[in-house]
Chain A
């Protein structure tokens, strides 16, 4: 067994380019429906607490990932938090350089056991510190559609 020949001329190399359109609809489910509705309608942030494990999830979840218990109640949290980690992203998805690097942070969300990924706004990269207090900035109510983009980012509180 084994191939006894190899292509040894680059101008003899052939290939076929393939693409497919990839489109999905991702339904929110019970948990995220409540979370994004509260942002859209009331500008409020909701979390959910597993009474069994004492874990508070953010955003809202309908079950606990540790004990698998159902979580029905939501708890309001201010949406504020502290920068847990941050990064300056320099590349676009096609690996070309971004015109403006993006300042992205993981926010330790107050009153919860979770961290939340979003942009930092109104602050320069050199000014950001881990532990810095931040608050969420929402779009105007008329522009909110119940998406993650309803949050413009987090800025120093």
Chain B
């Protein structure tokens, strides 16, 4: 019987458009202190730390060097993943599965408000010889992908806008969310064009925040928490990075990451076995595309299901009850961490006004964002 991995504690800051009262270190510090408090541990009890950090987004070269002090990880085993928090979570899970580590801490942070030239930095992720000289923002990549998505009849423009309406409304019931609002489909369709068909309200707005998670081996879980949340499956995958040879329609990397996580979790029929899902919605249509890639809906059905309320908090498969990226804010490499946070609260029955009744199995999915093709998926249960 394989060792199981539990989430024994989680700490987080509010997710806000700016965080002028705290440095990036203090955001992580706040989340770390809360996580350790909840698990009843001290930094000296932790066997290894996994951080999430990307140099351009942190504003440091070799930014992984600056991850440890605010976590209590000085002079401890630390490694840092440039990817989404869910990639780091996969590493943390593997540490525990080696049975050499009993307590592992995984961290992610977004201090997006520190970055003054985000479009420039995102554009810097494009191919320097073939794409970057064209001097168009990387939002063009989202515009092209959404145009093709609509052209292939995968959903209607209104159905994509419905995702925004739903997620921003969901965020109103989440005290940690930065961008809750009551809006209509027309507000989305009439918002400022960015890279048509993508408009301003289709895009998850940037947010700051930090999340720290305490993982532990099954054998000590009961000593740290009364409400363990189990990580049953985790998977990750990347398509070709080049715009020229990647798949443009089906989020294949998300599908492969999901299938890997489903296999590990022993899930055969995701649509029946998953009670709620936190899905990457950095651009409105991505939620629909990702739901279908994850086999939670048949191809071409996620848009209609969203319109019919199937993915609303009261629906058969609540999606982004937290508000998602559109309602909580786009947290860059911390995005997957906010999704895991929501599942932990829901699976423990601690989600307050937005509690999904009977939630037992949840799925968190991350995409590394424009213009990347990397995805990761985790399956959690109570």
Q: Do A and B bind each other?
A: yes
Cα A22 to Cα B137 in complex, Å, equals: 18
Contacts of B26 in A (CB 8 A): 3
Contacts A93-B120, A94-B119, A118-B134 given; does A86 touch B147 at CB 8 Å:
yes
Q: Mark A2-26, 1 if CB is under 8 A from B, else 0.
A: 1100111010010101100010101
B75 on the A face (CB < 8 A): no
The answer to whether B240 touches A65 (Cβ under 8 A) is yes
Given contacts A1-B37, A28-B129, A95-B119, A87 and B245 within 8 Å (CB-CB): no
Write out the residue numbers on chain A whose beta carbons fall within 8 Å of the beta carbon of B244.
57-59, 114-117
For the complex, what is the distance from the CA of A90 to the CA of B244, rounded to whole Å? 23
Per-residue B-contact encoding for A68-106, CB less than 8 Å = 1, 0 else? 000000000000000011111111111100000110111
B36 at the interface (CB under 8 A from A): yes
- What is the minimal beta-carbon distance from B116 to any residue of chain A, in angstroms? 8
A65 CA / B124 CA spacing, docked (Å): 22
A10 near B245 (CB under 8 angstroms)?
no
CB under 8 Å from chain A, chain B span 173-219? 192-198
**Residue B123 interfacial (CB < 8 Å):** yes
Count contacts between A and B, CB distance < 8 Å. Answer: 128
Q: Is A149 an interface residue (CB 8 A)?
A: yes
Considering the complex, give the chain A residue whose CB is closest to the CB of B145.
A85
| Cβ B240 vs Cβ A87 within 8 A | no
- Assess the B129–A84 pair: CB atoms within 8 A: no
In the assembled complex, the CB of A72 is this many whole angstroms from the nearest CB of chain B, namely: 19
Q: Is the CB of B129 within 8 A of A106?
A: no
A7, B195: Cβ atoms closer than 8 Å: no
Is A141's CB within 8 Å of the partner chain B? no
Q: Answer yes or no: A113 CB below 8 A from chain B CBs.
A: yes
Check: A46 CB closer than 8 A to any chain B CB. Answer: no
**Beta-carbon contact of A94 and B117 below 8 Å:** yes
Contact A88 B196 (CB under 8 A): yes
How many residues in A have their beta carbons less than 8 Å from beta carbons of B?
Answer: 50
Alpha-carbon distance A90/B124, docked complex (angstroms)? 19
Nearest Cβ in chain A — how far from B232, in angstroms? 31
* A89-B139 contact in complex given A57-B245, A106-B248, A115-B248, C-beta closer than 8 Å: yes
A55 nearest CB neighbor, chain B only: B245
User: CB-nearest residue of chain A relative to B128?
Assistant: A26
Judging by beta carbons under 8 Å apart, are A106 and B36 in contact? no
Q: Tell me if B143 and A93 are in contact (CB < 8 A).
A: no
- Check B133 against A147 for contact (C-beta < 8 Å): yes
Residues of B within 8 A of A123 (CB): none
Q: Are A106 and B144 in contact (CB under 8 A)?
A: yes
Instruction: Decide: A3 near B29, CB < 8 A? Known: A88-B193, A94-B117.
Output: yes
Q: Is B148 an interface residue (CB 8 A)?
A: yes
Known A-B contacts A106-B243, A113-B245; A93 and B137 likewise in contact (beta carbons under 8 Å)? yes
A154 at the interface (CB under 8 A from B): no
Does A130 interact with chain B (Cβ within 8 Å)? yes
Give the contacting residue for A18; candidates B30, B59, B136, B198; CB below 8 A. Answer: B59
Which residue of B has the minimal Cβ distance to A25?
A: B128
Q: Does A45 contact B (CB under 8 A)?
A: no
CA distance A15 to B20 in the complex (A): 9
Known: A6-B21, A117-B130, A148-B129. A89 touches B140 (CB 8 A): yes
Q: Which residue of B lies closest to A1 (CB)?
A: B33
Contact of B130 among A10, A57, A59, A92 (CB under 8 A): A59
Given contacts A3-B29, A13-B20, contact A84 B148 (CB under 8 A): yes
A contact residues around B135 at 8 Å (CB): 93
From 104 to 157 in chain A, residues with beta carbon under 8 angstroms from any chain B beta carbon are 104-106, 113-119, 125, 130, 147-149
CB-based contact A85/B33 at 8 Å: no
Q: Does A32 contact B (CB under 8 A)?
A: yes
Question: Considering only CB atoms, which chain B residue lies closest to A104 in the complex?
Answer: B140
Cα(A58)–Cα(B136), bound, Å? 21
Q: What are the residues of chain B within 8 A of A101 when measuring CB–CB?
A: 193
Interface centre among A57, A58, A106, A119 (most CB of B within 10 A): A106
Q: Do the beta carbons of B33 and A104 come within 8 Å of each other? A: no
CB contact between A149 and one of B117, B128, B133, B137 (< 8 Å): that residue: B133
Contacts A104-B144, A117-B134 supplied; 20 other A-B pairs, CB < 8 Å: A2-B34, A3-B30, A18-B59, A22-B124, A57-B245, A85-B248, A89-B136, A91-B137, A91-B139, A93-B137, A94-B117, A104-B195, A105-B144, A106-B144, A113-B245, A114-B244, A115-B248, A116-B244, A147-B133, A148-B129
Instruction: Please report A residues at the B interface, Cβ cutoff 8 Å.
Output: 1-3, 6-8, 10, 13, 15, 17-18, 22, 24, 26, 28, 32, 55, 57-59, 65, 84-95, 101-102, 104-106, 113-119, 125, 130, 147-149
A-B contact pairs, 22 of them (CB 8 A): A2-B37, A3-B30, A6-B21, A8-B21, A13-B21, A32-B130, A57-B244, A57-B245, A85-B147, A88-B143, A89-B137, A89-B139, A91-B119, A93-B137, A94-B117, A104-B134, A106-B248, A115-B248, A117-B140, A147-B133, A148-B129, A148-B130
